[in-house]
Structure 1
Amino acid sequence: MVVLVSTRCRFVLLLLAAFSCFSLKLCFGSEDSITFSTSIKDSETLLSRNGVFRFGFFTPVNSTARLRYVGIWYDKTPVQTVVWVANKEAPVNDTSGVVSISEDGNLVVNDGLNRLLWSTNVTSPNATLVQLMDNGNLRLPDSRNNGEVLWESFEHPYDTFLPRMSLGTNNRTGENLKLTSWRSSDDPSTGNYTAGLAPFAYPELLIWKNNVPIWRSGPWNGQHFIGLPDVDGFSLNNDYQGTASLSYANDSFMYHLDPDGVMYQRYLSASTRGLRIGGSITSTACDAYGECGPFASCSSREVPPCNCVKGFEPKNQKEWYNGNWTDGCVRIVPLRCKKENNVSSSSSRGKGDGFLKLQKMKVPVSAERSLADEKDCPEQCLENCSCTAYAYDGRIGCMVWSGSLVDMQSSLASGIDLYIRIAHPEKRHSYLAIAIGAAFVAAVFLLLACQKFKKRSAAPESRRRPELMFNRMEPVTNENESPYTFKPNEFPLFEFQVLAKSTDYFSHRNKLGQGGFGPVYKGKLPEGQEIAVKRLSRASRQGLEELMNEVVVISKLQHRNLVRVLGCCIEGEERLLVYEYMPNKSLDAYIFDPTKQKILDWKTRFNIMEGISRGLLYLHRDSRLKIIHRDLKASNILLDDNLNPKISDFGLARVFEGNEDEAETRRVVGTYGYMSPEYAMEGYFSEKSDVFSLGVIFLEIISGRRNSHKEENNLNLLAYAWNLWNDGEAASLANPAVFDECFGKEIAKCVQIGLLCVQELANDRPNVSNVIWMLTTENAHLPEAKQPAFIARREFSVVGLSDRSSQMVTIDDASVTAITGR
């Protein structure tokens, strides 16, 4: 009898233990699904199989209302990042909510009074299971038909576009899957903004505010959207019958539509498990939909940005010149299309209308599809009196427009040629007007030239010939000629057409990167040599002087850790520099990219730090004249075939003469986050300001984190590293992808060297030769580091650094995808 009781007790205990284990699994999220017989209470969550996403109840960060919502969020990120919400319009007021599968097979959310707050609302579902997938998709499969999904959260997106999710239109069902913003950062209810594909003949990505367009991407050309040349990875399926689907498969990032109508690209950091803003598109005034009105083109490089297309004039002259361009422009001369059943007479077509060519355009909205080939495309437009423009692209085909042309943007690297229909007399009169205008301008300049002939004759020759500007920057005497004197016959001057052809006319496919002064492209010269071509942007502040400066500084320098300039080009408004091609691109492409961080192991990173230091030592001490770089940063360190570092971009460099140790400037230029405090605040620069930048690079190489991004407790990288060093945990700053306990002491030493370089006072920082000695000497006794300079950073703004009226800061370290409409 005793034995029987013991057996029964043991059986009951086993049942209780099994039930407890099941409950604990559900509570702590080790199960990725719930069944008809289970539910999720407020304190419980589901965790996807590999621990990527979690599903359950949450309260938005910083919310004071303490309302409870059901949603999906990334697991183990420092800040909770919600990607989908179920009961966004009906939160639970307390912690009594329950998620379960109802008797009719729907997934439902109920409050403590058993009131229905949300349901999947599927008709006759037959579901007994709900599962959370590792891609963030919550699925309700059909229990009768294995493999069929009755409902899934990916078909009901909210504010986040995840990998393998689809946005798009369905002509058969009439559905259009779009993103919808939250009302505010702490209120997940439906906001004012939506984003998705527009049901045009040529699909475009649009953002709407209250169903009114505020931004668009331009049409899809088979590889990317014309207005988003730097955002790659999208895949678009289109049947040209009103059904189109947009998706992507890169698991390292996602897209988020915020409550202000801005779409960000956010990267998932493998080292911190956090999400950081990333990308390469910055918003301008021209990104706002219809900023300039009909028949006007917008260019962010011009002031004002809006201009009527040639042959058009402002519809409302007063409002136009007051900066209100929404009324747009109207034709000066009406079209002369003669109609016969809405078709031009072929006999009059020769004396009828023609086309005005606009290059590199984001074409207008609402293009109509045509099956005409490149030859017949303009003819088809001329034969239709309602056609106002056409464009032809080899990857898109023939596009035509009727009526007003709205939301045109010029000077886009990925733009295509647009042909706007104009009247024949307008063309003739425009040529006459150009001739008269040119004659008038020539007469004025001739008069001014005669009046100032003597003054102009006395001007230095270097101001009249661009190639002699180098000599003006570096005075030379015959007795003691400087090794940095530029001699045009010793330096190749390339023709613009040669460089354009070598880069496939600056094709986006050949783009290597984007700096503060313009893009860099890969090219191949006719003889087969690979090159890198930096094309100075007209919108940048860098012009002829900076280009000449870069050539004169680096053309005669020879060091294995300095990039070599092969030549330059100055034609019209074009300014280009030709470098040796570095196949591994720049350092920042490795240390800040979670997918590439493991390529650079600790030994390689140490060699890179030493190589950068040796290149800088050559500039500061080993060359005849001391050269201060002034823009040393990770993106200006290029890597060759063997991952050896080479310092590049000498456009801001300054040459010190004689015993000169420090200089002052009224124009502070460089990249915020790498600037020393004395340079950023007062304009003083020396070799110690380069050492400060070197220290920042060291800490970034070690940690794999940007100094411009905030770390724990809202600290920048310098402050974060300083706290770790003070706590005796300097080695923990190292990127987990490359950390090795065998190198723990060496990593801690390099952190200390980096902190010595970024000390607030310039006199406290070591010179570069001491940095190399500390790096390469084992058991070197290093001095104690003093507190670094913690410079507050204002996001996405040019910061006033002092009361100097002419200062400017180039901020190009922030990689932000901000698709914005105003």
Structure 2
Amino acid sequence: MRVHLCLLLVFSLFQAVQSSTISSITASSPLDQNQTLVSPSQIFELGFFMPNGSRKQYVGIWYKNMTPSRVVWVANRDKPLEGTDQSASLVIGRDGNLKLLDGQQSTVWSTNVTAKSNYSAAVLWDSGNLVLQDRSANEMWQSFDEPTDTLLPNMKIRVNLKTGKTQNLVSWKGEDDPSSGSFVLGITSETPPQGFAWNGSSPYWRSGPWDKSKFIGIPIMNSTYLNNYDLQQNIDQGTSYFYFNNHSNSYFGYFFISSEGSIEFVSWKNGWSTFWEAPATTNHCDIYGTCGPFGVCDSLGSTMCRCLKGFKPRSDEEWKRGNWTGGCLRKTELNCQKSARAAASTTVEKDVFGQMKQMKVPDSAEYLLSVADKEGCQSWCQGNCSCLAFSYVDTIGCMVWSRDLLDLQQFSTAGEDLFIRLASADTGKPTLTILIISLSTVSVIMLFGAGTLVCGPSRWREKFRKMKIQRFLRSGVTANKSEELITARKEQKKQDDASKLVVYDLDSIRLATDNFDAKNKLGQGGFGLVYKGKLNDGREIAVKRLSSNSGQGIAEFKNEILLISKLQHRNLMRLFGCCTEGDEKNTNSQEKAKLSWAMRFRIIQGVTRGLLYLHRDSYLRVIHRDLKVSNIHLDEEMNPKISDFGLARMFEGTQVLVNTSKVAGTFGYMSPEYAMGGMFSEKSDVYSFGVLMLEIISSKKNTGLDYLGQHLSLLTYAWHLWCEGRGLDLMDEAIANAFSPSEVMRCIQLGLLCVQDHATDRPNMSAVVLMLSGQSDLPEPKQPTITFHSSTTPEVHLQSCPGIPSTLLWLKEDKILRCISSIQFIFPGIRVYHIEWLE
């Protein structure tokens, strides 16, 4: 694992102890080797230094009081002084320029200002900018205009199309060699501009186009505060520049490009840490053109590269060897190309556009300023045979592509809709959408929906049947397409017998559960009780029995049926069958057992994969909203299954944040923004997952812990142990002698990261997978601000109350939680309240 700090050069000055510091360099006060120039607030320092292990000497700027020191600018990076030269100095010459002189008084480096000044002075500002100014304090030169490998706040990287002048970051050649390396980071002159990195003259990384607030090819910019970043472009003048602000001086941070080509944003908080990195060490898809022309890179896919729909590998042999750079070829000639050769009397079918969601759009876009909307964008592309794809982004406009589609990447979050031009023969309409409409319609529909089995009362079956028939007819498929129906029947017969719908009668369910005997009770939820049982064929099941007095069961049970019929994953519950006699509605699951650490870790991994599927890999994006221990079931091989989708919400497209006036879930598992503001997203599930992880590790409930005489939540308890360096004390004592300390500590740290107050501070499930496997470093967690001090864990139903926010009043049985006082703001728009139980 590469540690970032190894890239932050720890340097030693030429002399071990500096004798003095100065505030400016003037003609009468040069900077000698035993001196440093310091900024007014002691933030930055300029002086002579030698990198570790080097015999060469440089003049540079570094953070003064932060260890390890980080050099952010080097004057003579390509013209070092010999380490034995002890007479070098930084002076103001007779022509007013700042100059570096060696021991022979020869000029090694100079500012080369043409406008001479009778009086010049060099000063170092708290921004890290070295400025040469005249008697009137007018700036004649600044180091910010000649960056090396680091971009500080308010420093710019820029390009001028008319003059050809660029201002880029250039990497060091090595960790101990500040001379110019092979990696260059800059911005392009196209419209809209992109951030771009080159390795020599070859493209190495690309940010995607700028959309007036962010680069759309950097998903993390969708979930971070963006007001500090800006890119200005003047099309008439041909200029573009990018910079970031630190208005309140609330943090120390910078971008830099390493000698290995890694672009990183690094910030200081009790030490240097990397907030963002690209290309990420765990994601080869970030490297430009990994999958070649018309190839799509997906770091979480079963194979990293795949061809676009309608395309095939250029070389099957190369792809089998894992060399995808040759890319893909189109399978079928475009209809518009055929049309160009066809006779005037010949009618040729039009091309179609296949939609791809959550994409990093290709390189080399052409921006159509004159096109005002998506329909116009598609129309323009449809009418131009050279147009291979288009994308309309509201904050950019119409982008089209006429060259090979290169550097495509599939994202798990964020990304844009991309429409690819296809011959109609390559639309690939799936035969599984052909449904057999018969007396057994429900079973066939469920079989073809996702290979799972659902059921409901007879009136729901009728609604389901009508809905599916309508959808079937709308798809343009007619009942007289006998060949397609025969194909569908054949496909049906190929399905595994275990996936066929079985409608059980109530007597068989009673027999399997010993008439719902209390000794077979597995748990209880909002629907009612869950029982274990055994069918006549020996399969062990769990039966969810809808309580007749459940206030939420009907709607949620229907939601679960509709949802789970669309999902299939080894770590999600799979329905064997159902019973709908009378008021009985049932589904299935499996029993739990006492667990070793190896089993617990396997459960955590399985739940992680299940959530990743829901959030990213399933056809419909799903937010569970009620992830907790009782909704994780284990099969006979102790594989975890996520269950109970009664509160889950489904989404299509890229919607990432939802507001609801009806907050429902379980106290202690709900994220702050959801419990207190009704806002939920994938990060709400991540919060619940963090609580779940800590419970699995500790075998403790998430509320009602006694710690030093205080009733604390599990989050607070875990945080106290973490801060005291006693994280392993959280481990369940029953298995305290049989576990991997590093694995447990990684899980605890990841659990604390998942329960951060701000949703943006929590990792998404893609990142969780990498962190859990050790493929990605874990940042330090922040202290949870919101903790619930309660010895009970009520099911939460929010009610309104005059005078206070409706989201701050809970009802439990005949008790009510009353807001007593407001405590503090923890983030914009949300206040913490002190509450008490009322009888």
TM-score bracket for the superposition, by shorter chain length: 0.5 to 0.7
- Structure 1 position 539, deviation (Å): 5.9
Is 1:325 paired with 2:324? yes
Is 1:247 paired with 2:243? yes
Is 1:306 paired with 2:346? no
- Structure 1 position 200, deviation (Å): 2.1
Would you say the 8 A contact 1:292–1:328 is kept in 2? yes
Describe how 1:622-637 pairs up with structure 2 within 5 A.
Answer: none
For 1:37 and 1:151, locate their aligned partners in 2 and report how far apart those are by CA, in whole Å: 19
- Structure 1 position 553, deviation (Å): 5.3
- Structure 1 position 117, deviation (Å): 1.7
Would you say the 8 A contact 1:132–1:139 is kept in 2? yes
3-state SS of paired residue (1:337) = helix
- Structure 1 position 248, deviation (Å): 1.0
Equivalent residue number for residue 362 of structure 1: 360
Equivalent residue number for residue 62 of structure 2: 73
Distance 1:410 1:792, change over 3 A: closer
Distance 1:444 1:181, change over 3 A: farther
Equivalent residue number for residue 517 of structure 2: 477
Distance 1:387 1:259, change over 3 A: same
For 1:760 and 1:426, locate their aligned partners in 2 and report how far apart those are by CA, in whole Å: 55
For 2:306 and 2:74, locate their aligned partners in 1 and report how far apart those are by CA, in whole Å: 44
229-238 or 374-383, which moves further after superposition? Answer: 374-383
Distance 1:549 1:760, change over 3 A: closer
Identify which of 51, 56, 68 aligns with 2:42.
51
Is 1:380 paired with 2:351? no
Distance 1:35 1:566, change over 3 A: farther
Would you say the 8 A contact 1:338–1:345 is kept in 2? no
- Structure 1 position 46, deviation (Å): 0.8
3-state SS of paired residue (1:294) = coil
3-state SS of paired residue (1:538) = helix
Is 1:139 paired with 2:131? yes
- Structure 1 position 49, deviation (Å): 1.0
Equivalent residue number for residue 400 of structure 1: 400
Describe how 1:427-442 pairs up with structure 2 within 5 A.
Answer: 427=427, 442=488
Describe how 1:118-137 pairs up with structure 2 within 5 A.
Answer: 118-126=109-117, 128-137=120-129
Equivalent residue number for residue 452 of structure 1: 497
Q: Structure 1: where are the runs of 5+ without partners?
A: 1-25, 463-467, 500-514, 520-532, 555-564, 583-614, 620-628, 655-669, 680-684, 708-716, 722-753, 766-787, 799-805, 817-822
Is 1:206 paired with 2:196? yes
3-state SS of paired residue (2:209) = coil
Would you say the 8 A contact 1:36–1:100 is kept in 2? yes
For 1:578 and 1:460, locate their aligned partners in 2 and report how far apart those are by CA, in whole Å: 39
For 2:376 and 2:275, locate their aligned partners in 1 and report how far apart those are by CA, in whole Å: 43
Would you say the 8 A contact 1:534–1:576 is kept in 2? no
Describe how 1:581-730 pairs up with structure 2 within 5 A.
Answer: 649-651=687-689, 670=693, 686-687=699-700
Distance 1:516 1:121, change over 3 A: farther
Equivalent residue number for residue 390 of structure 2: 390
Distance 1:254 1:91, change over 3 A: same
- Structure 1 position 261, deviation (Å): 0.9
- Structure 1 position 302, deviation (Å): 1.4
For 1:367 and 1:188, locate their aligned partners in 2 and report how far apart those are by CA, in whole Å: 35
Equivalent residue number for residue 235 of structure 1: 230
Distance 1:66 1:390, change over 3 A: same
For 2:523 and 2:715, locate their aligned partners in 1 and report how far apart those are by CA, in whole Å: 30
Would you say the 8 A contact 1:570–1:576 is kept in 2? no
3-state SS of paired residue (1:68) = strand
Counterpart AA for 2:263: M
- Structure 1 position 760, deviation (Å): 8.7
Distance 1:809 1:385, change over 3 A: closer
Distance 1:495 1:481, change over 3 A: closer
Would you say the 8 A contact 1:695–1:758 is kept in 2? no
Deviations 1:692-717 (A, max 9, x none): 999997699679xxx6xxxxxxxxx6
3-state SS of paired residue (1:59) = strand
For 2:424 and 2:408, locate their aligned partners in 1 and report how far apart those are by CA, in whole Å: 23
Equivalent residue number for residue 758 of structure 1: 729
For 2:505 and 2:98, locate their aligned partners in 1 and report how far apart those are by CA, in whole Å: 81
For 1:516 and 1:345, locate their aligned partners in 2 and report how far apart those are by CA, in whole Å: 61
3-state SS of paired residue (2:379) = helix
Counterpart AA for 1:68: Q
Distance 1:291 1:32, change over 3 A: same
Describe how 1:268-347 pairs up with structure 2 within 5 A.
Answer: 268-269=268-269, 272=270, 274-279=271-276, 284-337=283-336
3-state SS of paired residue (1:387) = coil
For 1:157 and 1:807, locate their aligned partners in 2 and report how far apart those are by CA, in whole Å: 34
572-581 or 477-486, which moves further after superposition? Answer: 572-581
For 1:90 and 1:377, locate their aligned partners in 2 and report how far apart those are by CA, in whole Å: 52
Deviations 1:323-343 (A, max 9, x none): 221111111222343699x99
Distance 1:67 1:480, change over 3 A: same
Would you say the 8 A contact 2:358–2:654 is kept in 1? no
Aligned length: 578
Deviations 1:315-365 (A, max 9, x none): 11221233221111111222343699x999999898443322222221110
- Structure 1 position 387, deviation (Å): 2.1
3-state SS of paired residue (2:40) = coil
- Structure 1 position 653, deviation (Å): 7.5
Equivalent residue number for residue 785 of structure 1: none
Would you say the 8 A contact 2:183–2:199 is kept in 1? yes
Distance 1:180 1:793, change over 3 A: farther
Is 1:187 paired with 2:266? no
Would you say the 8 A contact 1:88–1:189 is kept in 2? yes
3-state SS of paired residue (2:220) = coil
Equivalent residue number for residue 177 of structure 1: 167
Identify which of 209, 216, 224 aligns with 2:206.
216
For 1:294 and 1:372, locate their aligned partners in 2 and report how far apart those are by CA, in whole Å: 27
Would you say the 8 A contact 1:162–1:254 is kept in 2? yes
Counterpart AA for 1:119: S
Distance 1:544 1:248, change over 3 A: closer
Distance 1:425 1:695, change over 3 A: closer
Q: How well do the aligned residues superpose, as a CA RMSD in angstroms?
A: 5.5
- Structure 1 position 307, deviation (Å): 1.6
Counterpart AA for 1:366: S
For 1:135 and 1:808, locate their aligned partners in 2 and report how far apart those are by CA, in whole Å: 34
For 2:505 and 2:44, locate their aligned partners in 1 and report how far apart those are by CA, in whole Å: 68
Would you say the 8 A contact 1:215–1:289 is kept in 2? yes
Would you say the 8 A contact 2:158–2:186 is kept in 1? yes
Counterpart AA for 2:517: T
- Structure 1 position 199, deviation (Å): 2.2
286-295 or 545-554, which moves further after superposition? Answer: 545-554
Deviations 1:455-510 (A, max 9, x none): 96789999xxxxx9xxx99x9635886762451663564979x99xxxxxxxxxxx
Would you say the 8 A contact 2:87–2:102 is kept in 1? yes
The structure with higher relative contact order (CA 8 Å, sep 6+) is 1
Equivalent residue number for residue 837 of structure 2: none
Would you say the 8 A contact 1:289–1:407 is kept in 2? yes
Equivalent residue number for residue 83 of structure 1: 72
For 2:607 and 2:187, locate their aligned partners in 1 and report how far apart those are by CA, in whole Å: 31
Distance 1:287 1:99, change over 3 A: same
- Structure 1 position 147, deviation (Å): 5.6
Equivalent residue number for residue 81 of structure 2: 92
Describe how 1:565-580 pairs up with structure 2 within 5 A.
Answer: 568-569=647-648
3-state SS of paired residue (1:230) = helix
